[in-house]
Amino acid sequence: MSVTSRIAISILAGAILVARSPSSAIAIVNELRAKGPFTQTILGVTVIMDVVVIILFAFNSEIADALLTNISLNAGFVLLLFGELALSIFLGYLLGKLIQLLLSIKIRRVSKAIITLMLGYSVFISSTFLRHFSHNQLGTELLLEPLLICMVASFFVINWTPHRDQMLEILHKTGPTIYILFFTLTGASLALDVLSKTWQIALALFFIRLVSVFIGSFTGGTIAGEPMKNNAVS
Give pLDDT tens digits for 123-180. Answer: 999 999 998 898 888 777 788 888 889 989 998 999 999 999 999 899 888 888 887 8
Residue 90 CB-half CA count within 13 A: 6
Does the pLDDT at position 220 exceed 60? yes
Q: How many CA atoms lie within 13 A of 52 on its CB side?
A: 13
| Residue 72 clears pLDDT 70, i.e. is over it | no
Instruction: Tell me the C-alpha to C-alpha distance, in Å, between residue 33 and each of 36, 174, 192.
Output: 10, 17, 33
pLDDT interval class at 1 (50, 70, 90): low
> Is residue 74 predicted with pLDDT exceeding 80?
no
Residue 230 has pLDDT above 70, yes or no: no
Whether 175 contacts 120, CB under 8 Å: no
- Residue 30 above 90 pLDDT? no
pLDDT reported for residue 232: 60
216 contacts: CB under 8 Å, gap ≥ 6: none
Contact 52, 145 (CB under 8 A): no
Distance from the Cα of residue 182 to its chain's centroid: 13
Look at 21-25, 47-51, 138-142, 185-189 and tell me which has the smallest mean pLDDT: 21-25
